[in-house]
Chains A and B, each alone.
Chain A
Amino acid sequence: MNTRLVGLMRKELLQIVRDPSAIAIAFVLPVVLLLIFGYGVSLDAKHVLVGVVVDAPTPQTQSFVAGMRRSEYFSVQTFSDIHRAREALRERRINGIVWLRGDFSRLALTAGDAPVGVVVNGVDANDARILEGYVQGVWAQWLEREAQLRGGRLTLPVDLQSRIWYNPAVRSRDYLVPGLIAVIMTLIGALLTALVVAREWERGTYEALMATPVSMREILLGKVLPYFVLGMGGMALSVAMALWLFHVPLRGSALVLFGSAALFLLAALGMGLLISTAAKSQFVAGLIAIIVTFLPAFILSGFIFDIRSMPEPIQIITHIIAARYFVAILQTVFLAGNVWSVILPNGAALLAMALFFLGIVARLSRKRLD
């Protein structure tokens, strides 16, 4: 490596050390965010507050309610009549109601199809659907028990057996933590570089750099390499936390993981540099970085909302979000293994984005003052 480049990188490193915010971005940010999110973000509802109303207690209703109490998904609260339960639901003190009417046992023992009234608060539709699923589970187990009591076995026409591959316990943390790494790396990449070129423009040091014999390529390399090393350090920290703190399994190889992280980081740093180069003022670069990095990576990457369920035009838009490819690779390498049919196309897309961003930055950064 030539001495000019080493000198540039030394200067960049000194700047990093002098304003510790860059080190904070690379190492403190991932730790804080992963800790909060790893513990805080979960779609697995447990101990959901549900009101139970039993108009006329009988062995059948007792067995149904006991099934709900046994389940770790519910925290059962009994109400003496349906009006009180409805009021509690309206005031958001409970999330749902299960109502066994006075004629429940009579119908259950004779004609069948005794209605179990279930009301859920549908405002959070996803949560409501999960709650419905839990009630269905309790109901199915109750049917089984009732059939056994009558000396038979429950025979349903079709007996559905489900297997959830890669995550049999359906722990949402196992899929959210790999995705979080992608979101956090997006922030690290953009934050590290979004201001570095704009800062030099503002202070006039960029003009000074132009007057030296260093080439534009060397200036850019000098900007990318130190932050790349910092970013990869942040990545290593995040992976270590995912594995040993959150116990997310890593079924693929670490080499693939870090290889794709390197590609992604180059794309993210490239985007940061592009913002910085195009904006030429730290203020504007900061505005753009806040707007284009976090929310798109959060919502359009498939980290939490499944891309395949989005409308077609929106799916097309997601292709310009680098985090999308990284999330796909991360979820696969962590949970499924080295599946090349997922890794290769997504890795190629990351490489293309990195080349694209860095290429544009190189084109924009000529030795010109306008």
Chain B
Amino acid sequence: MPAHIWALTVKEFLALLRDKVSRMALIVPPILQLVVFGYAASFDLNHVPYAIYNEDSGAASRDFLARFAGAEVFQPVAEVNSDAQAARLLESRDVLLVLHLGPHFTRDLLLHRSASVQAIIDGRNSNTASIALNYVSAIVQGFNEQWAADHGWGRPPAMLKIRAWYNPNLLSRWFIVPGIVGLLTLVVAMVVTSLSVAREREAGTFDQLLVTPYRPFEILIGKALPGLIVGLLEGTGIVLIAVLWFHVPLLGSLAALYLGLIFFLMSAVGVGLMISAAAATQQQGLLGAFLFLVPAVILSGFATPIANMPPAVQTLTYLNPMRYFLVILRGVFLEGDGVSLLWSQYLPLAAIGLLTMAAAAWLFRHRLY
């Protein structure tokens, strides 16, 4: 690299790392957040508090409830004996679920009749509610199979044998942690780039830079390199924590992962510099960073699948670099994808990177107003 571009890069690094707070801000939060979010971000339920409303005193109801007591997912916290009590616990969010067994539970079962059990679930978080209902159904089904076998009820004509590929125990952590790797890499890239030009514009030093013999693309390289280098280093640290701390399997090749990381950083740095170059003040740069960051995360497929979005929004996601990076991360981590399978993800990233960087270089001299 020509010495004068290197000098510019060094200056950018100094501007970024000069201040103790911004040095810390670059290193500590991403690592801390990965650990906290890695534990926090999960759709799996644990220790769901539930209340028992059992009007039956027979042995069958005790057997039935024992299955819930033995399940890791559920935790009994109260026994109630009226609908009103149950309602109060649900309403105040003390329990998520109330299991109501009627007075004839055991009698009905012994008479070879269906005994009904009511599960009342707090639907304020509807996703939690449907997952909890799935767990309840699974436990009820287990009880039914056992009871039918022990008491000669005959077998149903068919049964489901369900297997899940790539993630046999359906741990949502395996899905979420690679996603967080993408999230934090994006945040770091935005932090490094989105204010860098706006700050110089506000201080007036950008005009000075423009009258030097540097050409716009040289300034661009000088501004982009710190983002790429910091992003690569932090990305490596984050991947290491995902593998060594959270034990997410990394089945695919490192080459595929790093190729993805480099292309993704190119596009993220490009977007960040474009925002920064378009902004007149740091306030505007910060606003632009958020206006990109928030939709980029929410419409990436990180927590809610892109397939559930309406077609128009799905089309919009093709502009989102996070979308491609998440496919790469999950493919490499969990499905063992190599480089050859992922070109359809690398190329859009490279295209977004080149376009936004070109736009940023153009904006250096031709700002909107």
Which residues of A are in contact with B by a Cβ distance under 8 Å?
19, 21-22, 24-25, 29, 32-33, 36-37, 39-46, 48, 60, 64, 89, 104, 107-109, 111-130, 132-133, 135-136, 139, 142-143, 146, 154-168, 170-172, 174-175, 183, 187, 191, 194-195, 199, 279, 281-284, 286-292, 294-296, 298-300, 302, 304-306, 308-311, 313-314, 317-318, 328, 331-332, 335-336, 339, 341-342
Contacts and interface: CB of A to CB of B under 8 A. Distances in A.
Given A39-B309, A43-B305, A199-B283, 8 more contacts: A37-B298, A42-B309, A118-B161, A119-B164, A164-B123, A191-B287, A284-B25, A286-B194
Given A122-B164, A156-B114, A25 B144 contact: no
B298 A36 contact: yes
A298 B114 CA distance: 44
A187 B294 contact: yes
Interface of B: 19, 21-22, 25-26, 29, 33, 36-37, 39-49, 64, 90-93, 96, 109, 112-131, 133-134, 136-137, 140, 143-144, 147-148, 151, 153-168, 170-172, 174-175, 183-184, 187, 190-191, 194-195, 199, 202, 280-287, 289-291, 293-295, 297-299, 303-305, 307-310, 312-313, 316, 330, 334-335
A31 to B, nearest CB: 12
B91 A123 contact: no
B293 A294 contact: yes
A299 B41 contact: yes
Given A143-B157, A167-B123, A170-B129, A126 B43 contact: yes
Majority SS of interface residues in chain A?
helix
Contacts of B124: 166-167, 175, 331-332, 335-336
Given A172-B126, A302-B125, A287 B195 contact: yes
A25 B287 contact: yes
B287 A24 contact: yes
B284 A19 contact: yes
A116 B158 contact: yes
A165 B90 contact: yes
Contacts, number: 369
Nearest to A142: B158
Contacts of A199: 282-283
A184 to B, nearest CB: 8
B290 A126 contact: no
Contacts of B47: 308-309
Contacts of B122: 165-166
A281 B298 CA distance: 29
A288 B26 CA distance: 9
A295 B41 CA distance: 11
B175 A123 contact: yes
Contact of B285 (A133, A161, A163, A286): A286
Nearest to A337: B91
Nearest to A20: B284
Contact of B281 (A21, A158, A314): A21
